[in-house]
Structure 1
Amino acid sequence: MRYIFKDGKYRQVLPEDPYEVKGHNHEVLGTVQVANVKGCPHTHRFATVSGEAVREGTDHRHEVRYITDTYEGHHHEFCGMTETSVKTCDRHVHFLKGTTSENAGHKHGFQASTLIEDPIGK
């Protein structure tokens, strides 16, 4: 069994199960919501790869960390967990919603979903 350290405790990484979640990751990309700072509305983009599956009851989640692109000399960061999986045919995705770190006096909200796992697999 494999474990990761998250939120001050060890969590079990999912072992092999019927829909092969062992050792998989998801691509995550998106654009944060517009912030209007001092009359200068702007947004940021992000792209990353999730951490491996972490058991959540009979399902799993993934840790997601990213740093946005830079605009006017600042960027934002995020670290959090996806929601549990949503089946899509013989694959699955995860939803993710949150708020970035505060930088340059503001934060950005965002909503995203992961891409399917193993997009070129059989």
Structure 2
Amino acid sequence: MYNCETQKHVHEFVGSVKLAELGSDDVHNHRFAGVTGEARPWKGSHVHLIKTKTDFFNDHYHEIEVFTGPAIPVGNKRHVHFVYACTKERDGHKHMFIVATLIENPIGEVEYCPTY
């Protein structure tokens, strides 16, 4: 049973960063995936922390540490979150990325805490 006091829901995410052009022979991007942190109340909604690393490509990776935006309803009492952010700098550059989380608990019943 879902217990709002001990466990808040999480979301899966998968994305790809925008291209970085560091020279004519060094155009590249990175991929990332994972599971967000638990829901945190925020301004009448909630957000999630995304903390991960991109794949290792072109002799480096990038760290990502950002909060999602608030919940965006998508119907049937479900929601997603949107993120528009930037990786941390590595190897003299960083990458912008845009990603939406996947729907929380996609095959289970949705139970909400009263404050979310």
TM-score, scaled relative to structure 2? 0.84
Q: Which amino acid aligns with 2:36?
A: S
Matches of 2:44 and 2:58 in 1, distance apart? 44
Equivalent in the alignment of 1:29: 14
1:109 aligns with 2:96: yes
Q: Percent identity?
A: 42
TM-score, scaled relative to structure 1? 0.80
RMSD (Å), alpha carbons: 1.2
Equivalent in the alignment of 1:6: none
Runs (4 or more) in structure 1 with deviation over 2 Å come to none
Task: Give the number of the structure with larger relative contact order, counting CA–CA contacts within 8 Å between residues 6 or more apart.
Answer: 2
Paired residue total: 103
Matches of 2:106 and 2:22 in 1, distance apart? 38
Equivalent in the alignment of 2:69: 83
| Alpha-carbon distance, 1:57 to partner | 2.2
1:47 to 33, 42, 45: 33
Query: Higher strand share goes to which structure?
Result: 1
